[in-house]
Amino acid sequence: MADWLPQIRRIAVAAGDAILTIYNQPEAVAVQQKADDSPLTAADLAAHQLIMRELTSLTPDIPVLSEEAADIPWTVRQHWHCYWLVDPLDGTKEFIKRNGEFTVNIALIVAGEPVLGVIHAPVLAKTYSAVLGLGAFVADAKGERQIHAVEPVPGETVRLVGSKSHYQPEVESYLAQFPQHELVAVGSSLKFCMVADGTAHIYPRFGPTMLWDTGAGHAIAVAAGASVQYLGIDGPAYQRENLLNGNFIVKAN
């Protein structure tokens, strides 16, 4: 599995380059609304097509569940022991707002658990990656280094991170338990990476996300020493019929 990691990173970076080509021509970005009313651009589709082509060539026997090709019945998916879980462009709203806080996400799920994850942020030029048991890493202009989640020091400010585009009032009551805290709003799966590299201590999510929004981030956060607790989910979190996640909390242990 670790042998695949360089290839998956290469694929995520190539998808990010395809996204950037479109990002850099803002006048050409047409936004469609999907059936669930979420936005879709040519960048989501370009990244999706590239990733599908590359993963199918790398591992022809491993199925792929991508946000842009998710209409696969449970009668088929329930027989998948392992699969690639892909969000080709997480943070489409951030892409449209042009704030750079969007990512390419690829995870390998085995027996319902994310065991490998890559998150690439094309504008930030940062690639986070992890294999369970081998640690979590970030690669950027400064090179590559291992990252670790960091627990808050008692008595000091607890740093939390939350959604920029999907605010949920429940976050306020969760925050009330920390007398001294600061909340930073960030788009996409970058929030998992911020807990994984110690920039934030906790990412509480009260509000809907889909399996592909969290698979890669889950693997990276756990490999960096954080925990991801899904509230109200029975059974392996990534092997179930419902593609919608419940609330969850990511925190340094």
Ligand X SMILES: Nc1ncnc2c1ncn2[C@@H]1O[C@H](COP(=O)(O)O)[C@@H](OP(=O)(O)O)[C@H]1O
Where along the sequence are the contacts to Mg ion (CB under 5 A)? Answer: 87, 90, 213
Strand 82-90 vs strand 64-66: parallel, antiparallel, or unpaired? parallel
Q: Which is nearer to ligand X, 106 or 131 (CB)?
A: 106
The CA-CA-CA angle for residues 136, 111, 243, to 5°, reads 90
Q: Which is nearer to Mg ion, 40 or 233 (CB)?
A: 40
Q: Which is nearer to ligand X, 46 or 131 (CB)?
A: 46
Q: What is the DSSP letter of 219?
A: H
Binding at 236: pick from Mg ion, ligand X, none (beta carbon under 5-8 Å per type): none
Binding at 163: pick from ligand X, Mg ion, none (beta carbon under 5-8 Å per type): ligand X
Placement of tokens 């890559």 in the chain: 118
- Which residues form the interface with ligand X (CB under 6 A)? 38, 67, 87, 90-93, 163-166, 187-188, 208-210, 213
Q: How far apart are CA 88 and CA 103, in angstroms?
A: 8
Binding at 209: pick from ligand X, Mg ion, none (beta carbon under 5-8 Å per type): ligand X
CB of 142 to ligand X, least distance (A): 26
Binding at 38: pick from ligand X, Mg ion, none (beta carbon under 5-8 Å per type): ligand X
Q: Tell me if 37 is assigned to a ligand binding site.
A: no
N- to C-terminal Cα separation, the chain: 26
Q: Tell me if 36 is assigned to a ligand binding site.
A: no
Q: Which is nearer to ligand X, 20 or 134 (CB)?
A: 20
Q: Tell me if 91 is assigned to a ligand binding site.
A: yes
**Secondary structure of residue 193 in the 3-state scheme:** helix
**Tokens describing residue 82:** 């392992």
Tell which residue, 249, 250, 132, 246, has the closest CA to residue 197: 250
- Look up residue 100 and give its amino acid: G
Binding-site residue ranges for substrate: 67, 89-92, 213
